[in-house]
């Protein structure tokens, strides 16, 4: 929860959620499930739009926080490949920041197809860590350290395959939208930068001296207002057959 809530409150997060709602194209009274709902920001916002929303997350602590944020919604503790929902019971399905945690996206998308009515809308996506850009005087070293960032997730590049997975699952009208978060505040990414550098050292991709020097350079860039990173998020939307 110490990670989820700050992520949803960062600059651009509300805009990204709103973009996913537009892609859902749901009218008041429609049913929608938000899988991997986290702290319930999207559930609460969709409920305020007049939707009948169900939030699902595998983390009981996240579900408890989400219940407090959206007391009128339904919630379940469950995994994305085994939803406690009836067949063809949903008009909309949303899942963000989930697929980098899964070894295989196919069972989750198959379950989404099961619970969606014909003509129902799905919007899935998340960050593709392979496309993260961080400026540096040594871009080759930075690219290696970015591999350390990727090592913190199960499937860091999973979202780039979601279009294929949806088409294979017989969804149609598949649309891909890319939102890029531009970060110039070093403090916003300090934890991730340190984790990436340390992971690269642990995997023997670089030395501890390399990591310390790179982190010092990023801090120095920040003091001169020269820190810059770009983090893309892919949104993939489709319609159930």
| Three-class DSSP category at 57 | strand
Which residues are within 8 A (CB) of 64 and not within 5 positions of it... i.e. 6 or more apart?
A: none
pLDDT in tens, 58-98: 999 999 999 999 999 999 999 999 999 999 999 999 999 99
Give yes or no for residue 174 having a pLDDT over 70. Answer: yes
Q: For the domain 4-239, what is the CATH code?
A: 3.40.50.150
**Rounded CA separation 70/73 (Å):** 6
- Global confidence as pTM: 0.91
Q: Is 53 a residue whose pLDDT tops 70?
A: yes
- What are the boundaries of each domain within the chain? 4-239
User: Cα separation of 168 and 124, whole Å?
Assistant: 15
* pLDDT tens column, 138-165: 999 999 999 988 888 899 999 999 999 9
Which token pair is 12?
């651009």
Check whether 2 has a pLDDT greater than 90.
Answer: no
Are residues 188 and 206 in contact, defined by beta-carbon separation less than 8 angstroms? no
Check if the beta carbon of residue 102 is closer than 8 Å to that of residue 108.
yes
SS3 of residue 224 by DSSP: coil
**pLDDT surpasses 90 at 7:** no
- Strand partners of residue 241: none
What whole-number distance in Å separates Cα of residue 117 and Cα of residue 139?
47
For the cut 60, the answer to whether the pLDDT of residue 1 exceeds it is: no
pLDDT grade, residue 11 (50/70/90)?
A: low
* Cα–Cα distance, 109 to 9 (Å, whole number): 27
Judge contact between 57 and 33, C-beta under 8 A.
no
Evaluate if residue 4 carries a pLDDT over 80: no
Q: What rounded mean pLDDT belongs to the chain?
A: 94
- State the alpha helices, DSSP H only, in the chain: 4-9, 13-24, 41-48, 60-69, 106-115, 139-150, 162-168, 190-202, 208-223
Measured over all CA atoms, what is the biggest interatomic distance in the chain, rounded to whole angstroms?
58
Structure tokens at 9: 């409150």
């Amino acid at each position: 929860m110490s990670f989820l809530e700050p992520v949803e409150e960062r600059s651009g997060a509300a805009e990204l959620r709103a973009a996913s709602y537009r892609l859902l194209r749901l009218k008041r009274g429609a049913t929608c499930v938000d899988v991997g709902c986290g702290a319930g920001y999207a559930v609460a916002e969709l409920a305020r739009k007049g939707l009948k929303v169900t939030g699902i997350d595998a983390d009981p602590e996240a579900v408890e926080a989400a219940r407090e944020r959206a007391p009128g919604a339904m919630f379940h503790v469950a995994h994305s490949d085994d939803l406690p929902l009836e067949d063809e019971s949903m008009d909309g399905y949303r899942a963000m920041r989930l697929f980098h945690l899964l070894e295989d996206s196919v069972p989750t998308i198959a379950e989404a197809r099961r619970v969606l009515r014909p003509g129902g809308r799905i919007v899935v996506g998340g960050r593709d860590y392979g496309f993260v850009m961080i400026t540096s005087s040594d871009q080759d070293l930075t690219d290696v350290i970015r591999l350390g960032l990727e090592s913190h997730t199960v499937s860091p590049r999973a979202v780039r395959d979601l279009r294929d997975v949806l088409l294979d699952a017989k969804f149609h009208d598949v649309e891909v939208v890319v939102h890029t978060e531009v970060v110039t505040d070093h403090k916003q990414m300090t934890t991730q930068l340190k984790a990436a550098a340390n992971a690269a050292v642990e995997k023997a991709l670089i030395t501890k001296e390399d990591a310390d020097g790179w982190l010092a350079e990023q801090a120095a860039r920040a003091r001169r207002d020269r820190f810059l990173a770009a983090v893309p998020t892919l949104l993939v939307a489709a319609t159930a057959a």
